Amino acid sequence: MQLEAIIDALKARGHRVTQQRRAILAEVMRTPGHISVQDVVKRLPKVNASTVYRTLDLLEDLGVVAHAHLEEGAEYHRAESHDHVHLVCARCGRRDSLPTGQIAPLKELIARESGFEPDFTHFAVSGLCARCRAAG
Amino acid sequence: MQLEAIIDALKARGHRVTQQRRAILAEVMRTPGHISVQDVVKRLPKVNASTVYRTLDLLEDLGVVAHAHLEEGAEYHRAESHDHVHLVCARCGRRDSLPTGQIAPLKELIARESGFEPDFTHFAVSGLCARCRAAG
DNA sequence: GTGTATGCAAAGCATTTGCACCTCC
DNA sequence: GGAGGTGCAAATGCTTTGCATACAC
């Protein structure tokens, strides 16, 4: 969804489009990866922290942004860039990502076998990166 | 590892075996699933919270317990019961588990495609449980 | 104008830390 | 007896909340 479309959606639902909401929204949308609440607070010193919390909650309710759980806690991202699995190295902390397309067949297999339809994007996946694996 | 073996391991590394450590250890070991720090604090009212934090850190360093990330935050479990994936329904919150064996093919696929060796036990896996999926 | 959103300050929690005292070895 | 562990209280940091004010519509 484009920024203007989101703003229209806000209006359509009776929400107001304030400078703070524009700023927070723009910040999340321009971030390629993930951004924590505290990151937003730091990048927008003029916006109060409680406004950041309230706005991200609102945007998540609207389906515009989503959060994922990484080792350090929750981080937000554009809802539409929700199509990759986050890999975090347990040893060195290196982060990598994997398009969900590459594991789609297995997702379906798991759904068929267990009845549970997994979404591997909401929680990160821990493990060992290639480098640490090679290092033993 | 059995309780007595763990106590020996503590002693072997020069750590002391106190009543508090015995109590905290017993609490985690007797818990079939996961237990949060706050759960331990509530179940052992005579042990100070800071001792619980310090002891769980120590036991994790020793490899006796491990923590996993669920929607609500970190939870501890016996290190040896580390062989199942935690499934959490994003809609109803229902928890289920899956032996790691059932997703071994996924682990291998990811390792092959990305070089990253995933451990699906450290973070939960979100998704839709069979019931919520049926409900649409 | 009016009702929603924001800022501010305070409260609420979980977690960490410093230090005096205790206790396990 | 002495190092290591614990309890306590305070500090820290993140998040939430209540309320008066500001401002989008």
Contact B116 A130 (CB under 8 A): yes
The answer, for A91 touching chain B at a CB cutoff of 8 Å, is: no
Q: What are the chain A neighbours of B115 within 8 Å (beta carbons)?
A: 129-130, 133
Query: Considering Cα of B130, then A99, then A69, then B44, what sign does the dihedral take?
Result: positive
User: Which range has highest mean pLDDT (A42-51, A98-107, B3-12, B88-97)?
Assistant: A42-51
The answer, for A135 touching chain B at a CB cutoff of 8 Å, is: no
Q: What mean pLDDT comes out for the span B92-117?
A: 92
For residue A122, give the chain B residue with the closest CA.
Answer: B126
- Average pLDDT over chain B reads 93
Per-residue pLDDT, A46: 97
The model carries a pTM of 0.90
Q: Which tokens is A76 given?
A: 């937000």
CA distance, residue A80 to nearest chain B CA (Å) = 17
pLDDT in tens, chain A (136 residues): 688 899 999 999 999 999 999 999 999 999 998 999 999 999 999 999 999 999 999 999 999 999 999 988 999 999 987 788 999 999 998 999 999 999 999 899 889 988 999 999 999 999 999 999 999 7
pLDDT reading at B16 higher than 80? yes
Per-residue pLDDT, A1: 66
Contact B126 A114 (CB under 8 A): no
Q: What are the chain B neighbours of A111 within 8 Å (beta carbons)?
A: 133
Q: How far apart are CA A25 and CA B67, in angstroms?
A: 34
pLDDT reading at B1 higher than 70? no
**Burial (CB count within 10 angstroms: exposed 0-12, middle 13-18, buried 19+), residue A24:** buried
Q: What single DSSP character describes residue A124?
A: -
Q: Which of B71, B108, B123 to mutate to test the interface with A (most CBs of A within 10 A)?
A: B123
Instruction: From A56, A67, A46, A69, select the one nearest A25 (Cα to Cα).
Output: A56
